[in-house]
Amino acid sequence: MPFLRPFRNKFIPGDLIYGLRGQRRRYIDFVSAFIDARGLNDDNAWPPIYIDDYVVPPEKNVWRMLSNVIREMWIIAKEN
């Protein structure tokens, strides 16, 4: 994922890193333009830095609905 003109020349939080998983890790470890991504590469980072961790709005709504259902089930189970 080289940075070519007229595009910016370094990673900025909010960008998504594309490519094969092993190569993406090498960008973060060995390319100085990705230094700002080094602290954001764990599974719980927000915003996500890898394309496969990105959630589109419809998926976000499904996750919200599921978490509400699970919460309601937990409350019902706790009352019984």
What one-letter code names the amino acid at 72? E
DSSP at 70: H
> pLDDT class for 26, splitting at 50, 70, 90?
confident
Give the tokens for residue 65: 């609905």
- % of the chain at pLDDT higher than 70: 76
How does pLDDT run across 57-76, given as a tens digit for each residue?
A: 676 777 788 888 999 999 88
pTM, entire model: 0.47
CB 71 within 8 A of CB 45: no
